[in-house]
Amino acid sequence: MEQNLKSEKKSNILANYNLSELESFLLDIIKPKYRIKQIFDAILQAKDIDELNIPKEMITKLSENYILKPLKIHTVLKSKDGTKKYLLQLNDGNIFESVFLTQNYGNTICLSTQVGCRMGCSFCASTVKGLIRNLTAGEMLAAISIINADNGQKTERNFSNIVLMGSGEPLDNFDNVTKFLYLVTDKNGFNLSERNISLSTCGLVNKIYDLMKLKLNINLCISLHASTDEIRQKIMPVAKAYSINEIVKAVFDYAKYTKRRVILEYCLIKGVNDSFDDCERLVKLFKNVLCHFNVINLNPKDDKQSPVTKKSAYAFVQKLNDLGLSATLRRSQGSDIEGACGQLKVKFEQNDEKNSKK
């Protein structure tokens, strides 16, 4: 990458680069070197160019060619349980969501990796208008920075975990996402442990193997949501490309190669995938695989699909455990502020369309 850095144009986002990369191409206009460290720190603190404590002539040169702050907070909603849902607006006007969750084991940022999504899962609001575009590594880092700054001292890291479970399919934006992982774990930056990062994919098997080869210590989560290909294809179009047996093999290989347990996400949809027969089929598929089932009760995007009762959700989890799998029920947060992926963005866009017609 570094051989191309000097030729970057006006649209270049400084957050796309680590400190050594910034030094390699900014030294032509920013001197001495410690000034570049000030700029790097400003990225992590979600500052804009006019907030930099550097000479005005340097600020002018910097602003002619580079972007320090590629997004801003558009809207924040706070739940009764402390969850904060952010609509973040990019410099091109596009909007995406992220969530700040307060938990007893540390604060977590749920981050989007794309504006929209092209995977088409029937239960997810992120995909309503398809994929608009990928987020760059720097835009994802900027989202982390601005949320971090909004929840404590800008100079401190106010979160312990990141989950790539917002809008978009992370492995469909592979290069930007993996670059972001290196940026957010950089010892000069937020210095977050890889083990405190979870990446959720709907099951792009070829990309799972690409990720496996990087030998990252992140937590891989796979959205399974069905015990048969027939059921999965009805709710997840990606299932037409990759069978459950292919996913089982990828999970087995990933866990064996990385020595890391894989999390299987299973969203309960009433009358679709919530029977004890589903439990028995899941056991047959995954009984010899190093994995854990994270069962989620549906947060419906419309009235076409319904969640199960809380009692039924607990019974499903108990059945999986009784049959020999490891399973827990995920605690729901932020349901009163459209907490599920894409819901707040869809509501905002619908209101915006209504207002434009008045």
Residues classed as catalytic: 97, 341
Phi, psi for residue 254 in degrees, rounded to 5? -65, -45
DSSP state of 308: P
Q: Is there a contact between 224 and 325 (Cβ–Cβ < 8 Å)? A: no
Please give the order of strands across the beta sheet that includes 95-101.
Answer: 71-78, 84-90, 95-101, 108-111, 161-164, 197-201, 219-223, 262-268, 291-297, 327-329
Phi, psi for residue 129 in degrees, rounded to 5? -110, 15
Query: How many residues in the chain?
Result: 358
334-354 burial code (b ≥16 CB/10 A, e <16): beebbbbbbbbbbebeeeeee
Q: Is there a contact between 146 and 162 (Cβ–Cβ < 8 Å)? A: no
Q: Which tokens sit at 200? A: 């959720």
Find all residues with CB under 8 Å of 241, minimum gap 6, and list them. none
